[in-house]
Amino acid sequence: MSQTILSLELPSDHKEWGVDKLCQFLQKLPETFKEKGIDGVKLQKLKDAEQREMSISCSVFCQVFNDPIHGHVELHPLLVRIIDTPQFQRLRNIKQLGGTYFVYPGASHNRFEHSIGVAYLAGEFAQALRTRQPELNITDRDVLCVKIAGLCHDLGHRPFSHLLDGMFIPKACPGKKWKHEEASLKMFDHLVKCNDLEPVMKQYSLVLPQDLFFIKEMIGGPQNTNAGQGEEWPYEGRGKDKSFLYEIVANKRNGIDVDKFDYFARDCHHLGIQNNFDHRRFFLFARVCEVDGVKQICSRDKEVHNLYDMFHARSFLHRKAYQHPVNKIIEHMIADAFLKADPYIQIEGSGGNMYNLSTAIDDMETYTKVTDRVFELILTPPSQIYVTDPEQSDSVKQILIRAGGQTELAEARRILKRIIARDFYKCLGKMQWKQKPTEEEIDQWTV
């Protein structure tokens, strides 16, 4: 639980006060509270100027997480409330690098800790800009929204992360265009609604629905369907004067953002690969400048080599891990197994309706239950199990996940057993792109 501490700011000559003068000073405080009608909720919403006028300071104490990459990090109580939901806890069971775990034994980290890391870095970056450039008028609300966007940016990942995006869905649902960012937005809405978080957000001074729009825009880009059709500024959450805030979590302009900063450091740590990029140095030298009428996050020219290290780290990770030949073979095998099992996997969702792997994205209650455990469900008999519904407070209620019988799953199970026995498909060769790949193709295979 977080703590809110109310402290007094005494004048510089308070040490010279006697008992009577100190009591007189203290008596003014309850009178001011009654006069202004300040209760527990309004107390936390007082602006800094109002607190100074009343000679008080109201501070929210954050919860501390021990992260292997960033050390001890403090997270705002609202972020902790989001973390302690079934929708976010689901990320504990989704590997960050999917099938790479079968190649690199250390790649056992999950989307859960990555999301916490991105939230922390997002807050650190926003605060760094705020401290060095007070003229930007970055508010506490802005910083909190940026942190939430960082925390929730990966809520929509399917099992085995990008594997199902690029290999499973195009075959299971031909013609269906789907990105995990879209699912993240749907899951975020579901999380807020199911856990009744809007009153909590208002308690911490967020303005709804504006700040909800802002958070979702930072994750998935403009939500305005008319964007790019004559609209001068496509975003609704914040105005053009704060355009730079949209470049912190998911930078659509140049790809330099805290999402990459965290997974570069985290993936290299778990893979045993050297990471020469220093995001802390980038924070120190980054500034917001107006370029072509738009405020953008820029870096000093002398920092070009640090940025080269960042792009080199990304290239190196792709060559050594993400696009590792054995890793790609394993991911193809998992996708093949899931395709064969898909018609026989049934997961109960909202209204008692049943969904399978390829349609689970259509129902967030179902999607909350879909994690990497599907691999074990197919691999290990019995082929049907009961699991506690994470969205029901009654722990007695159980929901059936059915994965067909021995006959239906035999072929899918055979493929997964080959992975366990390291009897992989054979790599017959490689080919180079004759033409530059399209942005859609790049997005499809980008981590």
The SS3 call for residue 216 is helix
Distances (CA, A) of 196 to 21, 190, 288: 47, 10, 36
State yes or no: pLDDT of 9 exceeds 80: no
Per the CB < 8 A criterion, the answer to whether 338 and 173 are in contact is no
The SS3 call for residue 37 is coil
Condensed to tens digits (0 to 9), the pLDDT of residues 192-227 reads 999 999 999 998 889 999 999 999 999 998 876 554
Alpha-carbon distance of 292 to 279, in angstroms, equals: 26
Alpha-carbon distance of 330 to 318, in angstroms, equals: 16
Which among 188, 189, 176, 183 has a CA at the least distance from the CA of 158?
Answer: 183
The SS3 call for residue 107 is coil
Secondary structure E strands in 285-441? 286-291, 294-299, 345-348, 354-355, 384-388, 398-403
Condensed to tens digits (0 to 9), the pLDDT of residues 117-126 reads 999 999 999 9
Condensed to tens digits (0 to 9), the pLDDT of residues 324-381 reads 999 999 999 999 999 999 988 888 888 889 998 889 989 999 999 999 989 988 888 6
Q: Note if 312 is an active site residue.
A: no
Catalytic residue among 180, 190, 270, 324: 180
Per the CB < 8 A criterion, the answer to whether 65 and 83 are in contact is no
State yes or no: pLDDT of 47 exceeds 90: no
State yes or no: pLDDT of 385 exceeds 60: no
Residue 99 Cα to chain centre, angstroms: 20
Q: Which tokens is 192 given?
A: 């807020």
Alpha-carbon distance of 391 to 89, in angstroms, equals: 11
Neighbours of 312 (CB within 10 A): 13
Beta bridge partners of 74: 64
Structure confidence at residue 401 (pLDDT)? 58
Beta bridge partners of 403: 345
